[in-house]
Structure 1
Amino acid sequence: MPLTPSSTRDLLAALGHTPKRYLGQNFLVDGNIVRKSLELARLAAGDTVVEIGPGLGTLTSALLEAGADVWAVEMDRALAQHLRETLAPRFPAHLHLLEGDAIDHPLANLPAASAAAGFKVIANLPYAISTPWMDAVLSGPLPERLVLMLQQEAAQRYAALPGSKTFGAISIFLQSAYEIAPGHKVAAACFHPRPEIESYLLHLVRRPPAFVFDPATKTLIRACFQQRRKQIAALLRGRLPDDGTAWLAGLAEFDLTPRARPEEIPVAAWQRLHAA
């Protein structure tokens, strides 16, 4: 599969395919980044891997050649057909390709038994879907490890700490389930066409145990961050049977009062809201 700008341009021309910006089609053209993705994921033969947006198959072929069982979802019909014609015949028992939307199929229709046995996600994630896709994945079943190519701004938002303007609901959900391990910066020159932003390989390792919020609590937390400058006591009023009185009192343990704003409240305190 292509790993240089010129070979990528040649293949796209042969396919008559113009990269679609709305699908985030910036194709990886640096073999070092592919190798780094597999290294961070600690990929081993026999691993089950979910890939989102395989595109031209650059990362997909590396995963398959390393002995992984790959479940991939690709929205672009022409690229899905290209993968069916090129990679599927080479790896008929190990490539499971779904043509569809990753938001509707966040784990590429990975069977429940395979998910329960343990799996990883390794993907050059289309930037436009990164947060809704991540939110869906965090509802479970949870991958053991994720290595995701993301817009650097998105990676910073996921890793943001309380007190930061970028700390938000997705930061809480993700950090409750995963430890953020050292990742890797990726320059714009590693893609074709070259994006206008910098990228980052985000490396996530599932916590033992992982904390997963129920849908009602996630909805409440998102609502709080939609008015992130308001005091938390005002935001909870009428949303909980006792207006969250007991939970608000517990903020004292974190040196906070009911006048605190959502972005000031640490992840551990939000987890207690789940019980409230």
Structure 2
Amino acid sequence: MPLTPSGTREVLKKLGHEPKRFLGQNFLVDGNIVRKSLELGDVKAGDVVVEVGPGLGTLTSALLEAGAEVWAVEKDRQLHAHLTETLVPTHPEKFHLLEGDAMEHPIADLPTDKAASFKIVANLPYAIATPWLDEVLSGPLPARMVLMLQQEAAQRYVAQPDSKSFGAISIALQAAYDVAPGHKVGSGCFYPPPDIESYLLHLARKPAPYVFDAKTKAVIRACFQQRRKQIGGLLRGKVSAENAAAWCAELTAAGLGPSARPEQIPVSLWQKLAV
């Protein structure tokens, strides 16, 4: 698979394919970053790995060469056809390729019996990163994730309380995952180069991960839409008076109380919210 801008341009020219900005088609052209992705993911022979948006198959090829079984979802029909012609025939038992939208198939229709222990290694389309991650955090949870993201998004996901970046997605992610050292990625590592800086986010599932249910996540998102208001007032109409009082007592015991703003409340206390 191509690992240079010129090689990537040549393949795209043969396919008659113009990178689609709305699909976030910035193709990885740096072998060091591909190797770093596999290293952070601790990808070994026999691992089950989900990939989102395999594109020309650069990262996919490396995963397959490492002995992983890859389940991938690609929305672009032309690129799906290219992968079907090039990689599927050479790895018929190891490469499972689905044509579809990652928002509808966040883990590429991975079978239930494979979902007990899998990893995600992906160069994500940046436009869908947050809603896609929110879907993944509903479970089943991968043991490890290595995600190529817009650096700003990565900072938001790992933001701590009392910061402007801390929000609903930070809470959902940090309740289930520990953030391990990642890697900054310059725009020159892609073709065409994006206008923003990127980051390889490295996440390891906690020994006892916490998964918020859909109702609780909806309440948390609603609270952060008015993040400068006091939590006591924000809870009215969203949870029962009894549950609100009980949770505010928890906040008070932790030195916060009903006058706290959503961004001041740590993940551990959000986990105690009953909806």
Which TM-score bucket, shorter chain as reference?
over 0.9
For 1:31 and 1:216, the matched residues in 2 are separated by 42
For 1:108, the equivalent position in structure 2 comes to 108
Does 1:148 pair with 2:136? no
Q: How much has 1:103 moved relative to structure 2?
A: 0.2
For 2:232, the equivalent position in structure 1 comes to 233
For 2:67 and 2:130, the matched residues in 1 are separated by 29
| TM-score of the aligned structures, taking structure 1 as reference length | 0.98
For 2:195 and 2:254, the matched residues in 1 are separated by 40
For 1:250 and 1:69, the matched residues in 2 are separated by 45
For 2:62, the equivalent position in structure 1 comes to 62
Does 1:49 pair with 2:23? no
For 1:123, the equivalent position in structure 2 comes to 122
For 1:78 and 1:171, the matched residues in 2 are separated by 35
SS across alignment from 1:272: coil
Moved more, 241-250 or 93-102: 241-250
Q: Which runs of 5+ in 2 are unaligned?
A: none
Q: How much has 1:42 moved relative to structure 2?
A: 0.5
Q: What are the residue-to-residue correspondences of 1:1-276 with 2, within 5 Å?
A: 1-116=1-116, 118-242=117-241, 244-273=244-273, 275=274
Aligned length: 274
- Write the deviation string for residues 78-133 of structure 1: whole angstroms up to 9, x where unpaired: 000000000011101100000000000000000000002x0000000000000000
Q: Which amino acid aligns with 1:29?
A: V
For 1:18 and 1:237, the matched residues in 2 are separated by 50
For 2:253 and 2:164, the matched residues in 1 are separated by 23
Q: How much has 1:253 moved relative to structure 2?
A: 3.2
For 2:64 and 2:24, the matched residues in 1 are separated by 23
For 1:205 and 1:104, the matched residues in 2 are separated by 24
Moved more, 64-73 or 241-250: 241-250
SS across alignment from 1:149: strand
For 1:175 and 1:128, the matched residues in 2 are separated by 21
SS across alignment from 1:255: coil
Q: How much has 1:183 moved relative to structure 2?
A: 0.2
For 2:254 and 2:125, the matched residues in 1 are separated by 37
For 1:153 and 1:238, the matched residues in 2 are separated by 33
For 2:63 and 2:14, the matched residues in 1 are separated by 24
Q: How much has 1:11 moved relative to structure 2?
A: 0.6
SS across alignment from 1:63: helix
Q: Which amino acid aligns with 1:160?
A: A
Q: How much has 1:255 moved relative to structure 2?
A: 1.9
For 1:14 and 1:107, the matched residues in 2 are separated by 30
Q: Which amino acid aligns with 2:222?
A: A
Q: How much has 1:254 moved relative to structure 2?
A: 2.8
- Write the deviation string for residues 233-256 of structure 1: whole angstroms up to 9, x where unpaired: 000012222260111111123321
Q: Which runs of 5+ in 1 are unaligned?
A: none
For 1:78 and 1:136, the matched residues in 2 are separated by 26
For 2:26 and 2:224, the matched residues in 1 are separated by 31
For 2:119 and 2:196, the matched residues in 1 are separated by 26
Percent sequence identity is 69
Q: CA RMSD in A?
A: 0.8
SS across alignment from 2:148: strand
SS across alignment from 2:208: coil
For 1:175 and 1:255, the matched residues in 2 are separated by 21
